């Protein structure tokens, strides 16, 4: 992989027409260790957030020994880079053949259910493979209510009374049982975890079976850009949030229990930035070589403020406008799809033009993993960049919440 000091250096040297992922391995390691320092239990990285081999390898180097996996492809990706790592199979709804593969081929012994039919499937495989259920920890996933940018409780999780029954049934069959929840991604309310812990406590007290582990899921917010035209949201910093979580864990009586967290976004968001090129400027629209079907689907939802830095092409000698004036541009993606337009404008210097580049920061989470081959555009070029995005010159731009007219 080619290595550069800054994304600007990479753009000047490569003059790329394809999007370039700038990997910042030291940021990934630092953000990983920071989270692990805050969390008093096992850190199980959620592989779906970004399952690139270079990410999994770097995480293993940073000391991650546990991975949250959901599919055969994820089992394999983890096993390839970290043969000794523990895998937690934390998808509540599974194909029976995938359960078998997990238990038989990958030796996975930790999983999750939110319905009795999933217990039936699991037990069929456990019996067929002659595994002692006491060798397995099965979590029951609780429904949660809270405020996150991406809510998941409508899709997964058992209500409290149902969770009590599931725990009792698992325990009768001989499994070790745990409780888990996942509050959604990029939480927006610091009390979200406490509400989930209160619910876990209620379920534990009613179930009357020994609970061996508590898994608090993911959802920890990553730092994104700030739109200077808006008040910064009053979400506490990560260290405050984690201190609050540790306090809540103790307060709800889970302090002496082995704990697991499944962070994704908070660990990997800042580990990548993306260099895109302006293929055409048409008035206040910029047509770029990436978009919602490639690296920018997460920003398309409009819930995240991505910071952006202007990288002017020095070959452009004549420019119109005032480079100190920051104005909004509508950003259109590379595909022929009419919905491939970012939901938020990017604010950039008025002088931006066809042929210039833009470095978009903090795209490490849910962007590489969600890219498609739609229309044949599939960004897949990586360089290593040593200067973290947040340490370079201040970003000029950001994707704002303000919508703009055509
Ligand atoms: C996606 C997911 C995570 C990671 O969520 P982040 O918000 O990226 O931290 C953790 N646990 C489960 C069960 C998930 O589905």
List for the chain the helix, strand, coil content (%; round to 5): 30, 25, 45
Q: What is the pLDDT along the chain (406 residues), one digit of tens a residue?
A: 999 999 999 999 999 999 999 999 999 999 999 999 999 999 999 999 999 999 999 999 999 999 999 999 999 999 999 999 999 999 999 999 999 999 999 999 999 999 999 999 999 999 999 999 999 999 999 998 765 666 556 789 999 999 999 999 999 999 999 999 998 888 878 888 999 999 999 999 999 999 999 999 999 999 887 666 666 666 788 999 999 999 999 999 999 999 999 999 999 999 999 999 999 999 999 999 999 999 998 766 667 778 899 999 999 999 999 999 999 999 999 999 998 998 888 889 999 999 999 999 999 999 999 999 999 999 999 999 999 998 877 776 666 545 454 4
pLDDT of residue 281: 98
Mutation to probe ligand 1, out of 48, 179, 193 (largest number of atoms < 8 A from CB): 48
Ligand 1 mean position, distance from CA 395 (Å)? 28
Q: Please name the residue that has the structure tokens 């994304």.
A: 7
Could you write out the DSSP letters of every residue in 24-80?
A: -HHHHHHHHHHHHHH-SSEEEEEGGG---HHHHHHHHHTT--EEEE-SHHHHHHHHH
Ligand 1 mean position, distance from CA 314 (Å)? 42
* 90 close to ligand 1 (CB < 6 Angstrom): yes
Is 22 in the active site?
Answer: no
pLDDT of residue 400: 54
Which listed residue (22, 180, 332, 336) is catalytic?
Answer: 336
* 264 close to ligand 1 (CB < 6 Angstrom): yes
pLDDT of residue 398: 64
16 burial (CB, 10 Å; 0-12 / 13-18 / 19+) is middle
Mutation to probe ligand 1, out of 142, 157, 219, 364 (largest number of atoms < 8 A from CB): 219
pLDDT of residue 227: 65
Does the fold of domain 40-262 match that of domain 3-21+269-400?
A: no
Distance CA(294)–CA(19), nearest Å, equals: 10
Q: What angle do CA 148, 153, 154 make, to 5 degrees?
A: 115
Distance CA(291)–CA(297), nearest Å, equals: 7
pLDDT of residue 201: 97
* 361 close to ligand 1 (CB < 6 Angstrom): no
Check whether domain 3-21+269-400 has CATH 2.40.37.10, yes or no: yes
For the chain, which residues make up each domain, given as ranges? 3-21+269-400, 40-262
Check whether domain 40-262 has CATH 3.20.20.10, yes or no: yes
């Amino acid at each position: 992989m080619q290595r550069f000091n800054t994304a600007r250096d990479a753009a000047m040297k490569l003059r790329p027409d394809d999007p370039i992922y700038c990997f910042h391995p030291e940021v990934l390691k630092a953000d990983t260790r920071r989270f692990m320092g805050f969390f008093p239990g096992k850190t199980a990285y959620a592989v779906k957030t970004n399952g690139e081999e270079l990410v999994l390898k770097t995480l293993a180097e940073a000391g991650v020994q546990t991975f949250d996996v959901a599919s055969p492809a994820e089992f394999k990706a983890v096993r390839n880079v970290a043969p000794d790592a523990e895998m937690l199979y934390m998808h509540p709804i599974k194909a029976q053949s995938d359960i078998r593969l997990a238990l038989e081929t990958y030796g996975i012994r930790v999983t999750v259910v939110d319905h009795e039919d999933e217990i039936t499937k699991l037990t069929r495989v456990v019996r067929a493979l002659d595994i002692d259920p006491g060798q397995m920890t099965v979590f029951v996933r609780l429904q949660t209510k809270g405020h996150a940018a991406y809510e998941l409780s409508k899709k997964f999780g058992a209500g409290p009374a149902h969770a009590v029954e599931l725990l009792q049934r698992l325990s009768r069959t001989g499994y070790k049982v745990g409780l888990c929840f996942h509050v959604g991604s990029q939480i927006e309310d610091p009390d979200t975890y406490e509400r989930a812990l209160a619910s876990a406590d209620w379920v534990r007290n009613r179930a009357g079976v020994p609970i061996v582990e508590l898994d608090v899921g993911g959802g920890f917010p990553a730092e994104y850009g700030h739109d200077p035209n808006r008040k910064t949201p009053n979400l506490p910093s990560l260290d405050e949030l984690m201190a609050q979580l540790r306090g809540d864990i103790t307060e709800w009586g889970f302090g002496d229990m082995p704990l697991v967290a499944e962070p994704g976004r908070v660990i990997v968001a800042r580990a990548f930035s993306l260099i895109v090129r302006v293929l055409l400027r048409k008035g206040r629209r910029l047509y770029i070589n990436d978009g919602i079907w490639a690296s920018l689907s997460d920003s398309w939802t409009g819930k995240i403020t991505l910071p952006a830095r202007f990288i002017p092409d020095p070959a452009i000698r004549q420019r119109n406008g005032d480079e100190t004036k920051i104005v909004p541009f509508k950003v259109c993606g590379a595909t022929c799809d009419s919905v491939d337009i970012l939901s938020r404008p990017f604010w950039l210097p008025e002088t931006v033009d066809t042929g210039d580049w833009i470095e978009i920061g903090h795209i490490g989470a849910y962007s590489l993993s969600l890219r498609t081959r739609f229309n044949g555009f599939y960004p897949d070029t990586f360089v290593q960049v040593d200067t973290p995005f947040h340490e370079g010159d201040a970003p000029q731009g950001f994707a704002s919440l303000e919508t703009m007219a055509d």
